[in-house]
Chain A
Amino acid sequence: MTVLPTNFVPEPLATSAAATVTLLAPTARFSLRVWPEDRARLSAALTLELPVTIGQRARGTAPDGTEALCVGPDEWILVAPDGAGPAIEAACGDAYCDAPHSLVALPDREVSVRIEGPKAAELLTLGCPRDLDALIAGQGRRTVFDGVSVILWRDAAQEFRLDVWRSFAPHVLALLETGCRELALD
């Protein structure tokens, strides 16, 4: 049984010839909710075009800019470098009167891991019932892993990020660690 860092210090958690799982450092993270008619105003505030198709992502123009993932018809996950939170809150706050919305800071709700390696996608099939071939690089999904709700970002063919609520992380990470070992045997 893997011992997971209870303090969630970023570090490699499991590695094998099949895949490597690394705990990532915290980032700024928000849930943004806004009705379609006010989306453009928020896009302007965030200097990125909030995507309208579920699963699509967009990134702000600045280097390390804010990244938005559409997870519902009026719902986006925003991710930005740690420390960028107050600026995002301020920018959206200025738009609130014109474009009412909900922006809730969630930097600590989830922890994130990177899953990469030659069998990264296959590793995810241990717990994710979705067709991962349909999740193309550069997209993301809200889905489940081993019965736990997660946000899954595909950054490259064999590179994923997985966000999971903090208290579920040990359960999810334990299976990823088991899978790293198992897949290396195939």
Chain B
Amino acid sequence: MTDFRVPGRGRVDHDRPVKFRFDGETIHGLSGDTVASALLAQGRHLMGRSFKYHRPRGPVAAGSEEPNALIGTSRGRGRFEPNTRATVQEIFPGLKATSQNKYPSLKFDIGAVNDRAYMLFSAGFYYKTFMWPRSFWDRVYEPFIRAAAGLGVSPDKVDPDHYASRNLHTDVLVVGAGPAGLAAARTAAEAGLRVTLVDENAEVGGTLLSEPQAMIGGQAAWDWVAAELAALEALGVRVMTRTTAIGYYHQNMVGLCQKLTDHLETPNPDMPRERLWRVRASQVVLAQGALEKPLVFDGNDRPGVMLAGSAQTFLNRYGVRVGDRAVVVTSHDSAWYAAFDLADAGTRIAAIVDTRVEPRPDLMAEAAARRIKVLAGHTVSGTAGRLRVKSVRVNRVSGGTVGFGRQIDCDCLLMSGGWTPSLHLFSHTKGSLKWNETQNTFLPDHVTEACQIAGAGRGLWGIGAALNDGAAMGAAAARALGREAEVGTTDVGNDRPGTGTSHTELPTDRSAARARAFVDFQNDVTAKDLRLAVREGMRSIEHVKRYTTNGMATDQGKMSNINGLNIAADALGKPAPQVGLTTFRPPYTPTTFGAFAGYHRGTHFEATRKTPIDGWAEENGAVFEPVSQWRRAWYFPRKGESMDDAVLRECRTTRESVGMFDASTLGKIEVVGPDAVEFMNRMYTNPWTKLQPGRARYGLLLGDDGFIRDDGVIGRLSDDRFHVTTTTGGAARVLNMMEDYLQTEWPDLKVWLTSTTEQWATIALNGPNARKLLEPFVEGLDISPEAFPHMAVGECTVAGIPARLFRVSFTGELGFEVNIPARHGRALWETLFAAGQAFDICTYGTETMHVLRAEKGYIIVGQDTDGTVTPQDAGIGWAIGKAKPDFVGKRALQRPDLVAEGRKQLVGLLTADGATRLEEGAQIVLDPKQPVPMKMVGHVTSSYRSVAAGRPIALALLEGGHARMGETVHIPMPHGVVAATVTGTVFHDPEGARLKL
């Protein structure tokens, strides 16, 4: 194989060879190579097959804008990544790269039959070709299309890598470390600001890495880059390479993705693969430069057809000639320099084809000096060659007439349609663009963020112009932040500024309808597709984009957008600015899911809150369930017990003797101040004025719509201090709602709210033996039935630990809730559990708690209510203080709809057969024989097997339920209709005698 490496040339290390594998073959590259440059050094352009037509493709660019040379990379087990750009992936020993979209091989691919049938695969062909029969779409057409098209193969293993993220505040963030970015960073840093400079490449320098001939302030370009980098580091600038600014969000927040290990042979396993930076910058300088535009002509996608500037990069940065015999086709001056550099490095330039009639005389002279043939006023009308371009067809254009084509042999064709400022990040900010007539492109106009655009990114061409503009924009950023900034002018020698013209498709003497002139290489969109879209009625550029897929997906139109716009505008007969540009969306380049997820995976996916007693539950075999962010013990199965067995046993033991339950997750709010009681009166439905210190009451909280929001037992500790409990899931919401009212409606009230949820561990003891178990441990409080009746609260010590003790019951049994400082939670739990052995105590979880409360008809907010249930609906109208002047929701409760007959009301249901347990969520109908769809009159909210009732029980919300006592309703289920009788909601101890033990 021919060696295209130029000895001593480029920034690769010629003394450090690196071996890697491509499609199973060993490739010899150099340290500093990308996969693309290493393959090109061996004369290989063919690197992949295209998306739709499976056409052979090679790299067309040298950077992250590359649309063609997408490869799979494997860095070891589970570390496969599809669609990596071969022009970005740095090589290292052991890298395994594979080409994509080919079967059985890259050189012979069966899918290429699509290419022969290309007339069928025009824009929108899915919609037109696969219309009938409709039933075929889901099972035949769509799977076929998905299998045939698509880009690469998705990884199927769990990603073994880990990812990181950081927050960063910086005064000035400079995106892009080319001449403009380096100068901007230097100026801002010298003004004393915190500066961060990022670049997606492995090293800083940008275009200077491809233009070593430039002399900057008397220094050779690469020496200047090294000196600047050292100066920046000395100034404390944070310089990050391999770091892509992927998105520019509101208020100058910029997302950066830093690649840390993909280029390393043996990365430290503790090192994250990538790190996502969330940067808040006071000022952003966008110095992203410009991207070269392809020319649109038949066969412009063959391997060997490449952007001229990219060929120049491969030569100057990687020391690789992209061919032995090149033809250059251009409408811009810049490609001439690529031709000269290549000619000087030994590549024969067969011709420079310039679409312009009169190229610049100095360029003509330089070409003549190198004996390069110049074809001015010419066009390219086609290329030939199967896996590599072997010739190009060139025609003279005069007076709008395209002459006969003649063939010029070549092994590479370098094209340039001019340059497009990289507007992606600016576009993310919704900054507006303005059409520039002379450059035939959009430039940034109105800026919406604290942002400066420097250099080629705003249409300035040439190193000197970009560099001096960068310094000026760095100074502008500094001044915007109130700093003085000096801006000098740097002289740049051997600069290569230039201009050009713009085209739609290049003129041709052949049928445009048969031309395979690609606009979007990655999505296989041709000029013909765009014109077809317009003919078929697409008028908006957004519709054209979606119909053709031009500029979509991972590429985000880096190469295709302006060409696509120019062609669509031409087809529409409108000027380009009237047609407008589609929106570039983040991320700028494809970004891994891992980078976005960061640390949030596996056990760290979300905070899992655990109580102080959780560890004991885990050690004692509890099964857990998630309740909001908490994990709670669900039930405590003994050996061999099913869930049903365990729950029935826990229920029985608690009703017969005593059970203990970890209630620590209950929300707790301390309400303190001289106006505490007034605040409670206004927030809750219940009256609080007459509640004596030392007593507790069930509290019901409504929204201003009159619907139940939360509930809980509330103890009055002193005249000015309440201990409020909320539901587990409602804790934060209730505190927010209270603060909202306090701060916006009643700022005059002298009362303050403090969350004490986690201050306390709460142990609930329930059952006829609860007092016998607890009493010996209590000091400082008489808990006899007379002194400490149901709904009492007091402060004492329990087993020597200071405690707030409630006598309260959510089971219908004699019950206590012991609140102790959280650090003592587990110790007291263990003490009580040990002492409870004398009573055959059981620990129980949330399931048993649910059953026991349902047997008593106690509601669970959010289970038996759904945000549309009033206190009357739930059968707890008694909790409303009728004499109170106001409370949150009082007025809403008088609305006609809320007092109407026939609202859904909470009732009990007993299945007629006494054995079937209803399914929670099941719908209820009155007449099971009515035609489908039946009228649904409610649903089952809670349903359990009940030991106490000796049969399954259920709660349900039923239309007009309170007036249907004793009626039979029906619950249609997949296996048949279940009949049930409507009852009250209390299934156990309706007199409440057991509470009073």
Chain A residues with CB under 8 Å of chain B are: 1, 6-8, 26, 31, 33, 35, 74, 96, 100-110, 122, 125-134, 146-148, 165-168, 170-171, 174-175, 178, 181-182, 185
**Does B169 contact A8, Cβ atoms closer than 8 Å?**
no
**Does A100 contact B609, Cβ atoms closer than 8 Å?**
no
The segment from B527-535, B538-546, B748-756, B912-920 that touches chain A is B748-756
Cβ of B728 to closest chain A Cβ, rounded Å:
11
- Nearest to B616 among chain A residues (CB) is A6
Measured CA separation A21–B599 after assembly (Å):
18
**Residues in chain A near residue B757, CB distance under 8 A:** 109, 165
**Does B823 contact A26, Cβ atoms closer than 8 Å?**
yes
**Does A174 contact B166, Cβ atoms closer than 8 Å?**
no
For this complex, 27 residue pairs linking A to B, each with C-beta atoms less than 8 Å apart, are A6-B610, A6-B615, A33-B673, A33-B754, A100-B720, A102-B670, A102-B754, A104-B672, A104-B754, A105-B759, A106-B756, A107-B821, A108-B758, A109-B758, A109-B822, A110-B758, A125-B168, A126-B165, A128-B167, A129-B278, A132-B169, A134-B169, A167-B607, A167-B611, A167-B758, A170-B608, A174-B604
**Residues in chain B near residue A1, CB distance under 8 A:** 602-603
**Residues in chain A near residue B930, CB distance under 8 A:** none
**Does B822 contact A166, Cβ atoms closer than 8 Å?**
yes
Measured CA separation A126–B610 after assembly (Å):
23
Q: Which of B604, B612, B750 contacts A175 (CB 8 A)?
A: B604
Measured CA separation A6–B760 after assembly (Å):
16
Is residue B986 within 8 Å, beta carbon to beta carbon, of the partner chain?
Answer: no
Measured CA separation A74–B755 after assembly (Å):
16
**Does A8 contact B754, Cβ atoms closer than 8 Å?**
no
Measured CA separation A166–B607 after assembly (Å):
12
Measured CA separation A56–B602 after assembly (Å):
38
**Does B672 contact A108, Cβ atoms closer than 8 Å?**
no
**Residues in chain B near residue A103, CB distance under 8 A:** 672
**Does B756 contact A165, Cβ atoms closer than 8 Å?**
no
**Does A185 contact B674, Cβ atoms closer than 8 Å?**
no
**Residues in chain B near residue A100, CB distance under 8 A:** 673-674, 720, 750
Cβ of B273 to closest chain A Cβ, rounded Å:
12
**Does A102 contact B758, Cβ atoms closer than 8 Å?**
no
**Residues in chain B near residue A166, CB distance under 8 A:** 612, 758, 822
Say whether, besides A102-B672, A182-B270, A171 and B166 are in contact (CB < 8 Å).
no
**Residues in chain B near residue A107, CB distance under 8 A:** 759, 821
**Does B630 contact A126, Cβ atoms closer than 8 Å?**
no
Say whether, besides A106-B759, A109-B759, A171-B607, A185 and B268 are in contact (CB < 8 Å).
yes
Interfacial residues of chain B within 711-752, with CB under 8 A of chain A in the complex = 720, 750-752
Measured CA separation A110–B608 after assembly (Å):
16
**Does B270 contact A108, Cβ atoms closer than 8 Å?**
no
- Nearest to A30 among chain B residues (CB) is B754
**Does B166 contact A185, Cβ atoms closer than 8 Å?**
no
Measured CA separation A133–B602 after assembly (Å):
32
Q: Once A and B bind, how many residue pairs between them come within 8 Å at the CB atom?
A: 111
**Residues in chain B near residue A148, CB distance under 8 A:** 607
Extra contacts, 6 of them, besides A102-B754, A167-B607 (Cβ < 8 A), are: A1-B603, A100-B720, A126-B166, A148-B607, A171-B608, A178-B599
Measured CA separation A31–B757 after assembly (Å):
14
Is residue B110 within 8 Å, beta carbon to beta carbon, of the partner chain?
Answer: no
Cβ of B17 to closest chain A Cβ, rounded Å:
28
Say whether, besides A167-B630, A185-B268, A185-B271, A104 and B670 are in contact (CB < 8 Å).
yes
Interfacial residues of chain B within 751-784, with CB under 8 A of chain A in the complex = 751-752, 754-760
- Nearest to A1 among chain B residues (CB) is B603
**Does B822 contact A102, Cβ atoms closer than 8 Å?**
no
**Residues in chain B near residue A96, CB distance under 8 A:** 720
- Nearest to A106 among chain B residues (CB) is B759
Say whether, besides A125-B168, A167-B609, A108 and B599 are in contact (CB < 8 Å).
no
Encode contact with A along B815-852: 1 for CB under 8 Å, 0 otherwise.
00000011100100000000000000000000000000
**Residues in chain B near residue A122, CB distance under 8 A:** 166
Encode contact with A along B164-193: 1 for CB under 8 Å, 0 otherwise.
111111000000000000000000000000
Say whether, besides A102-B754, A108-B821, A125 and B166 are in contact (CB < 8 Å).
yes
Cβ of B773 to closest chain A Cβ, rounded Å:
24
- Nearest to A6 among chain B residues (CB) is B615
Measured CA separation A73–B201 after assembly (Å):
48
Is residue B96 within 8 Å, beta carbon to beta carbon, of the partner chain?
Answer: no
Say whether, besides A100-B750, A175-B599, A133 and B169 are in contact (CB < 8 Å).
yes
Is residue B272 within 8 Å, beta carbon to beta carbon, of the partner chain?
Answer: yes
**Residues in chain A near residue B673, CB distance under 8 A:** 33, 100-102
Q: Which of B165, B614, B760, B826 has the most CB of A within 10 A?
A: B165
Is residue B655 within 8 Å, beta carbon to beta carbon, of the partner chain?
Answer: no
Is residue B280 within 8 Å, beta carbon to beta carbon, of the partner chain?
Answer: yes
Cβ of B255 to closest chain A Cβ, rounded Å:
13
Say whether, besides A26-B823, A175-B599, A106 and B610 are in contact (CB < 8 Å).
no
**Does B754 contact A131, Cβ atoms closer than 8 Å?**
no
Say whether, besides A35-B750, A166-B612, A108 and B823 are in contact (CB < 8 Å).
yes
- Nearest to B823 among chain A residues (CB) is A108
**Residues in chain B near residue A31, CB distance under 8 A:** 754
Cβ of A35 to closest chain B Cβ, rounded Å:
7
Measured CA separation A178–B272 after assembly (Å):
10
Cβ of A144 to closest chain B Cβ, rounded Å:
11
Measured CA separation A148–B941 after assembly (Å):
33
